[in-house]
Each structure stands twice: as C-alpha cells, then as structure tokens.
Amino acid sequence: MVEPLRALIFDVDGTLAETEEVHRLAFNRAFEEAGIPWSWDRTLYRALLAVSGGKERIRAYAADHDPGRTGIDALVRDVHARKTEIYTGMVREGGVPFRPGVARLIEEARAAGLILAVATTTTRANVDALLDANTGGTGHGWFATFACADDAPPKKPDPMVYRVVLERIGLPASACIALEDSPNGVAAATGAGIAVVVSTSVYTDGDDFTGAAAVFPDFGSVTLDDLRSIHTKA
C-alpha cells in the first residue's frame, strides 16, 4: 500500500484471546441444561468452526446430526442466549488472557495515533466480558467502533463486518490492516480489500491462510513497525 497505515482492525475469538475452548464448553453446558443430548468435543468443534456464528453453528450441527429435531428456531434462539450467559460468566471469572503481544500492539498503535476497531462474528456481550476481564473496563475506550454479530448478519467469510468498520471509521481499506486467526477471517477481510495479518490459534493452526499478507504463530514478537512494513508491501 502506498498510503500510511492508519488503523488496526482486530478480530476477537482466537485473535485477541484464545476463547474458542471457552465457547465450546459454554455450548456444551447450554445443551446439557436444555436437556439436549449434544456434546461437542474438540475434534468436532474444530470442524464446526468452519461455520462462523454460534447460532449458525448450532443450526448447521442440528441439520447434519439431528435432522428430525423440531422447534429448531426456538432452540437456536434460547440455547444460544443461555450459552452467551454461561460464556460471559466464565470469561468474567478470569483465566482468558489476551494472547501474546496483543496488549503491546494495542498500546503501540494508540501511542502512534492509529485508529483501533473490532470486527467480530461473536456477540457484543462476549467482547465486553473479555475487555472487562482483561482491562477492568478501560479497554472499551481503546476502540473507535465494535462491529459484532448483530451489526453484520452475513457472517465471516462474508466481508460485511469489515465493510461496516471501514464505513464507521471513515478510512479506505488501503489504510488498514486486519488482525485475524482463521481462514474465514482472512476471506472476510480480503473480501473487503483489507490486508490481513494472521496469528494462528489453537483451533486454526495448520489451516490454509492463502490471501494473508503474513502469518505468525502469535504476535509476541510482532511490532507496529513490522505491521507498517507488511502494510507497505501488501
């Protein structure tokens, strides 16, 4: 890109923090509470993550594994709402820290006057819980905008959530870098014309990140200057 880097757009799950294992446990607890005989182990959950969005994930799983079940619309609505309550409760207990380098990159970007934003498939309440647990609430003010599940109904790999962020921050895609952990996230960001830098996560390690400008195991040794040079070459 010829113009300077002016914004970092962060994905949440798998990027800000390794949250998917907590999501998986919350899904299973919500199923159990509802008396639904479903339980997602790690291997199955990794496959189910191909579908972004918890509601969409439940619906896709039911269609494949329990096609005769009736009342799916109410099940998805109610079980997902309870799952979100369980998830936010677990995150607020602590123990889901930011991934290596994330807090430092945020600090470097803020000190350099970059705009920060969030583009996620997850529910806003989940983002708030993660920021409250890891920043005591101050983290909300770091981000100019949060585009979450309700802001972009078509989920990643659809680029809508990133287009919503670009619109809200008033910058062209060429002035931004997206930080992601998954192929769906890479497809969504590149679909919006944004260069993507990946930190592979527990559930995406080894996936195909074709289209990403750079892939790292984590951001522990990635500086803002590294992102600037990646952005220049993108």
Q: Which residues are catalytic?
A: 11, 13
The residue of the chain with the least Cβ separation from ligand XBP equals 54
What is the rounded CA–CA span in Å between residue 148 and residue 209? 22
Binding to Mg ion in span 147-186, by CB under 5 A? 181-182
* Partner in contact with 183, chosen from ligand XBP, Mg ion, none, beta carbon below 5 to 8 Å by kind: none
Site for ligand XBP in 7-66 (CB under 6 A): 11-14, 20, 23, 52-54
Whole-number minimum distance, CB 53 to ligand XBP, in Å? 5
Residues of this chain, 108-127, that bind ligand XBP according to CB under 6 A = 120-123, 126
| Nearest residue (CB) to ligand XBP, 52 versus 199 | 52
Regarding 11 and contact with Mg ion (CB under 5 A), the answer is: yes
Is residue 165 classed exposed, middle or buried when 0-12, 13-18 and 19+ CB atoms within 10 A define those classes? buried
**At its nearest, how many Å lie between Mg ion and the CB of residue 170?**
25
Task: Write out the residues near ligand XBP by the rule CB under 6 A.
Answer: 11-14, 20, 23, 52-54, 120-123, 126, 149, 156, 182, 185
